[in-house]
Amino acid sequence: MLLEILRGVCELRFWHDIEVLLSDFLNEPRERLQECETAIKVKEEIDENELLLEFLLQLQQRKQEAADKLHDTICLLSSDFEEVVVHQSISKKCGSLFEKSIEDELLAAEKVEKPLLLPASQKADRSELYSSVEKLDEDYTCSGSRKRSKLSTVTEENAASKSSRMMKNFKRLEATYFSTRCVPVKRTPKTREGSSFDDLSYRESTFRGTSSGGWINPFLESLSKYLCYSKFEVQAELKQGDLLNSSNLVCALGFDRDKELFATANVNRKIKIFECDMVLNQKLDIHYPVVEMTSRSKLSSICWNSYIRSQIASSNFEGVIQVWDVTKNQLYAEMGEHERRVWSIDISKLDPTMLASGCDDGTVKIWNMNQAIPFLHLHCTIKTNANVCSVQFSPDSSHFLAIGSADHRVYCYDRRNIRVPSCTFIGHSKTVSYVKFVDSSTLLSASIDSSLKLWDLSTCTSRVIDNSLQTFTGHTNLKNFVGLSISNGYIATGSETNEVFVYHKAFPMPVLSYKFNSEDPIYGREVDDAMHFVSCVCWRGQSSTLLAANSSGDIKLLEMI
């Protein structure tokens, strides 16, 4: 019995020892596994914290950069505000001094004139004369007060209108202000502590004009021109509808050298010459041309000679260029070496014997109109890889010309080296329909991508340029020639919404627009706007008068007011 008890106790201890051994064997890896898991979690937390720290650091740096930029912008605005206040106070002082000098002159004139009003022979009527003079003076004062009140009301209305238009386009005006005022530069990574102006080397290096008020006049002039006019007013209207022709589209307009005559060219093959002042002074529904000439094919473009007043050139769909004598109403010269229709012609302002033509055959031909021997007018031919839609000589050189092409590009050529273009401008997404020189260093292009682009020729450091100074949008132009004209910084173009749009070269949004009346020129019926579009525009020199025509043959003389 005792032996069995001892045997049982030994067995229990044996199994207990085995359980202990097994427990130690299993628990040790488990603990190590738990330690590894804990270590992994700690590492993950550390990595996550590092990512969070990196994010916060990047966020802090970006916000600090934004804060620095905002701080610099506010300092810039404060400085500019102070400059404008000083500029305005000086202007007010000059104005008050000018008004005071005028008042002094008027008082001096009154003192001189008073004795002349009362000669000695009329002493008996002195009291009556004094009363008459006092009455006239009172009437004049009342009249002047009414005029000043009316003028003040008009001035307030104009100011309110300008303020409203300015606030409507505030974002774009703001962008233009900063682009005019500053040139962006990289900020140094470390800035000094202390005065808020210590770290503003940015301001000094980004100002285009460091002199006091040096930036004010250019921007103020542009802003004033943008807000100067509020609408178009129709001065005269011509109806060019023809019962014998299904199409009355006016394809080209142009003023002569003295801006006294203007010409219209229709697809019905007729060139009509009108006297501008006669059209303006005679308030009639129908105006007759002083001269009318007929081409043998549909017309596409016209151009007056800036030197010979009576000379005008035209191009047509047969590829023929004709030069007319308006005074004699006869053909002066004819050049016909193009293979397809000619879209555009231009006569050089510096050398009025040279004429350039751009054609669907992908060539630009330069002609000498004064060549006495027929068929020897051709001076040279520039070959391109696409249809040429527009061509124009530089206003300062008879050798340099710009070309608008169907390959979406603008090319500039020197006719002394016609093998390759001097420079190429890339940016439009569709055919370039017009090119116009704003001046010798600035070029404007229009495209059927519904945009105009302004290019800087003075900074051409490479043969290919893809960044424009300005892009103008607001009008609609997807398939037709709608016209383009420039005057005194104002850019006029047509729209396929049957509207005329005017931009200023400093701002990307329209200054004004005018919608043509949708009226059939033959029957006087209202027609659908989708049927017609403004087809050509032309400024009258440097004035605010614009000549515009649409596809129904309706021509209007518009005045910006």
Q: Are 212 and 86 in contact (CB under 8 A)?
A: yes
Burial of 343 (C-beta count, 10 Å sphere; 0-12/13-18/19+): buried
Enumerate residues 6+ apart whose C-beta is below 8 A from 152.
none
- Sequence ranges of the domains in the chain: 59-100+141-187+196-228, 232-560
Residue 286 pLDDT > 50, yes or no? yes
Of 151-160, 185-194, 350-359, minimum mean pLDDT range? 185-194
* Sheet containing 464-465: order of strands: 388-394, 397-405, 409-414, 423-426, 464-465
Q: Are 529 and 516 in contact (CB under 8 A)?
A: no
Tell me the per-residue pLDDT of 389-428, one tens digit each, with 9 for 90 and over: 999 999 999 999 999 999 999 999 999 989 899 999 999 9
Residue 151: how many CB atoms within 10 A of its CB? 10
Residue 208 pLDDT > 60, yes or no? no
Residue labelled with tokens 């002083």: 290
Higher pLDDT, 27 or 471: 471
Enumerate residues 6+ apart whose C-beta is below 8 A from 342.
300, 301, 315, 316, 319, 320, 321, 357, 358, 359, 360
Domain spanning 232-560: which CATH class is it, in words? Answer: mainly beta
- Percent residues over pLDDT 90 in the chain: 45
Tell me the per-residue pLDDT of 366-380, one tens digit each, with 9 for 90 and over: 999 887 566 668 888
Q: Where are the alpha helices (DSSP H) in 169-183?
A: 170-181
What is d(CA 405, CA 362) in angstroms, rounded to the nearest whole number? 8
Tell me the per-residue pLDDT of 99-152, one tens digit each, with 9 for 90 and over: 666 666 666 666 555 544 445 544 445 455 445 545 545 554 555 555 455 545
Residue 183 three-state SS: coil
- Percent residues over pLDDT 70 in the chain: 72
